[in-house]
């Protein structure tokens, strides 16, 4: 059985309200193929959405998201699935590695899930991998698009991080013991931000990557605060496994050496409607016939100007999976040695 669920919350009320949709995904089968986790719970945004926005739009919003239209899904699924990607997401690769099925949206099966949660919920959480993030990207993006200064947006970081850590603490109380907590991506390399701040002074760009350095420094600020707060939780709960997923460093290694990893285009979106970075907020990938899509998404880092291609997601997942294997001190109890060796054969140690 594989399902996923979604919830929404308003986190920041600092002069205006930012509404963040959290997509929580659970993939569950009666006995895990690889003997590690019975389920994955994934909390995040559109980076990890496997179709909730489509389901929500059918029920509540009325406006179908652009992830419901081609060319989304063209690489692996060969049809749109609600994923903001040409193929699989990081969470999909992690599920594959752990022998769990892909994660369909909760809103498609929410009644069945509600009944399942009522039985042995604490044990279910204890045997699950909780993926808490990436979270915060939408909060910061909304603020920057509203014209907020970098100083103003930095004030949002503590409450965003507090929302993440508070959720972790609540889940610990409910019985969860194993967490993967990814940090934020280098937003200064995103086509959406590069378009928003196009025409910035030359000295604001990294001469090697073309990314906006001050925005990447902002991402690092978020990640540093998040890691600091995670360490506090580790000290309070030494028996809880908390692994930080370093999305920032992983993707920056690709931006710094794209040819090494087979990428020809790092900043320009594969799917878009033209412009320097092939990105336009009002004409997103999939909405119009005018959408321009590259011939080979695997040679691009950016899929739609905001989200990464499957090729990048695969590399991130490989690194994150290795971090899980190396960091969880009780993993041998969760995953037998034979299973770990088998998983490492499937997902060999990354060269990143």
Residues taking part in catalysis: 46, 304, 307
Phi, psi of 24 (to 5 degrees): -105, 125
CB contact at 8 A, 190 and 49: no
Alpha-carbon span 82 to 72, nearest angstrom: 8
- Cα-only R_g, the chain: 19
Q: Which has the closest alpha carbon to 100: 23, 35, 176, 6?
A: 35
Nearest to 129 by CA among 349, 336, 320: 320
47, exposed or middle or buried, with CB in 10 Å at 0-12, 13-18, 19+?
Answer: buried
Closest C-alpha to 92, from 262, 317, 249: 317
Sheet containing strand 2-13, edge to edge, reads 2-13, 17-28, 39-44, 128-132, 178-182, 241-245
| Distant-in-sequence, close-in-space partners of 158: CB < 8 Å, separation ≥ 6 | 225
What's 348's DSSP letter? Answer: P
Task: List CB contacts of 14: < 8 A, sequence separation 6 or more.
Answer: 155, 156, 159
CB 50 within 8 A of CB 44: no
Distances 237 to 178, 206, 332 between C-alpha atoms, Å: 11, 40, 19
């Amino acid at each position: 059985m594989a399902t996923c669920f979604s919830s929404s919350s308003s986190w920041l009320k600092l002069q205006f309200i930012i509404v963040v949709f959290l997509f929580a995904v659970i993939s569950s089968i009666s006995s895990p193929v690889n003997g590690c986790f019975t389920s994955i719970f994934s909390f995040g945004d559109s980076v990890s959405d496997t179709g909730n926005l489509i389901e929500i739009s059918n029920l509540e919003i009325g406006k179908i998201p652009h992830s419901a239209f081609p060319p989304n899904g063209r690489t692996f699924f060969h049809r749109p699935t609600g994923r903001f990607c040409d193929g699989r997401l990081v969470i999909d690769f992690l599920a594959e590695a752990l022998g769990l099925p892909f994660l369909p949206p909760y809103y498609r099966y929410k009644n069945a899930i509600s009944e399942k949660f009522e039985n042995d919920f604490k044990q279910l959480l204890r045997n699950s991998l909780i993926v808490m993030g990436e979270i915060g990207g939408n909060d910061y993006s909304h603020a920057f698009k509203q014209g907020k200064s970098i100083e103003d947006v930095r004030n949002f970081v503590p409450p965003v991080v507090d929302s993440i850590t508070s959720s972790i603490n609540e889940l610990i109380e409910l019985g969860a013991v194993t967490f993967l907590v990814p940090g934020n991506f280098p937003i200064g390399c995103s086509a959406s931000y590069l378009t928003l701040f196009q025409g910035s002074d030359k000295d604001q760009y990294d001469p090697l990557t073309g990314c906006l350095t001050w925005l990447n420094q902002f991402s690092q600020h978020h990640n540093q605060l998040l890691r600091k707060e995670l360490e506090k939780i580790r000290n309070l709960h030494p028996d809880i496994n908390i692994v930080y997923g370093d999305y920032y460093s992983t993707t920056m290694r690709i931006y710094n050496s794209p040819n090494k990893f087979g990428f020809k285009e790092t900043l320009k979106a594969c799917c878009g409607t033209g412009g320097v970075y092939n990105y336009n907020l009002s004409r997103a990938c999939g909405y119009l016939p005018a959408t321009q899509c590259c011939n080979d998404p695997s040679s691009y880092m950016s899929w739609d100007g905001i989200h990464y291609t499957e090729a990048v997601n695969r590399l991130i997942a490989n690194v994150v999976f290795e971090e899980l294997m190396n960091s969880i001190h009780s993993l041998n109890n969760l995953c037998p040695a034979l299973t770990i060796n088998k998983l490492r054969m499937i997902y060999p140690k990354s060269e990143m």
